[in-house]
């Protein structure tokens, strides 16, 4: 059973550019969430999608956006990149057995973004 | 407000030593879930255990064991007879009843097991 796949694994951008990251969840998983990991702020929740709808968003500026397609694949976009956006972006999928806090998230290996 | 504290930034042990990673959490919810994840150098977070707030029974899985104490809001993780392959960053996390997909992570504890 394939795990959560994230592409690209590594990328370098310059300030002001935009970037799109992709995530393919485990087959059958309908919930996809995104996290940002930095040395200073640690792991922080970005947003979560279920059945193409964003259900919740973390405390990030509007430059961070995402979407989910009908096949549950998800993309996140960061526009007008800043140096502080350099991070490991992790995608996680969940089977969504119940909306009760009990769901286990399965993470991908992440996309490491460097902004110069 | 929810918060997870992992006070130990880095721990270094010699192989075969036992090591305990501490986790203290804060939440106002009566129904919540606690998790431990392992992050090896490859980057992905690997799920280790989930515990709900109504189940304070300790759990053992091979060399791993977890001690959940609501009275002290702690969910500590012990590795017995550590091995070099246990070297990784370990994260404790909390989710609440109405936000199953939103994990509040601690800052992580980097464990180095030396041969």
- The pLDDT of residue B42 is 86
- The pLDDT of residue A15 is 97
pLDDT digits (tens, 9 = 90+) for A26-68: 999 989 999 999 999 999 999 999 989 998 899 999 999 999 9
| Test the B interface: residue of A87, A105, A106, A107 with most B CBs within 10 Å | A105
- The pLDDT of residue B102 is 86
pLDDT digits (tens, 9 = 90+) for A64-83: 999 999 999 999 999 999 99
Among candidates B54, B109, B65, which has minimal Cα distance to B87?
B109
The contact set of A with B (CB < 8 A) is 3-4, 31, 33, 35, 42-45, 48, 50, 55-56, 58, 88, 90, 92, 94, 96, 98-110, 112
- Does B100 contact A88 at a Cβ distance shorter than 8 Å? no
Residue predicted with more confidence, B41 or A16: A16
CA angle B67, B71, B72 (to 5 degrees): 70
What is the average per-residue pLDDT within B17-43?
94
- DSSP per residue over B19-50, as a string? EEE--EEE-S-SSEEEEEEEE-TT---EEEEE
What's the mean pLDDT when you consider all of chain A? 92
Distance from CA of B49 to the nearest CA of A (A): 9
What's the mean pLDDT when you consider all of chain B? 93
Residue B93 has pLDDT above 70, yes or no: yes
- Give the rounded percent of residues in chain A with a pLDDT score beyond 90: 80
- The pLDDT of residue A2 is 77
Q: Which residues of A touch B108 (CB under 8 A)?
A: 42-43
**Do residues A108 and A23 lie in contact, with contact meaning Cβ atoms separated by under 8 Å?**
yes
- The pLDDT of residue B43 is 87
């Amino acid at each position: 059973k394939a795990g959560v796949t994230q592409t690209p694994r590594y990328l370098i951008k310059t300030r002001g550019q935009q970037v799109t990251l992709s995530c393919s969840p485990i087959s059958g998983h309908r919930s996809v969430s995104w996290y940002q990991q930095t040395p200073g702020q640690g792991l922080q929740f970005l947003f979560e999608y279920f059945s193409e709808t964003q259900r919740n968003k973390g405390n990030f500026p509007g430059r961070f956006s995402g979407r989910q397609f009908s096949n549950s694949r998800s993309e996140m976009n960061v526009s007008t990149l800043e140096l502080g956006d350099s991070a490991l972006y992790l995608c996680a999928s969940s089977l969504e057995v119940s909306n009760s806090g009990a769901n286990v998230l399965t993470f991908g290996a992440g996309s490491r973004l460097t902004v110069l | 407000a929810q918060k997870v504290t992992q006070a130990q930034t880095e721990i270094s042990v010699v192989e075969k030593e036992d090591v305990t990673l501490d986790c203290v959490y804060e939440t106002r919810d009566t129904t919540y879930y606690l998790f431990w994840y392992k992050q090896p150098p490859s980057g992905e977070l690997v799920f280790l255990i989930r515990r709900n707030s109504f189940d304070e029974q300790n759990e053992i899985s091979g060399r791993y064991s977890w001690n959940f104490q609501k009275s002290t809001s702690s969910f500590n993780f012990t590795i017995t007879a550590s091995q070099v392959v246990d070297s990784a960053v370990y994260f404790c996390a909390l989710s609440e009843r109405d936000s199953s997909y939103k994990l509040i992570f601690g800052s992580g504890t980097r464990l180095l097991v030396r041969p």
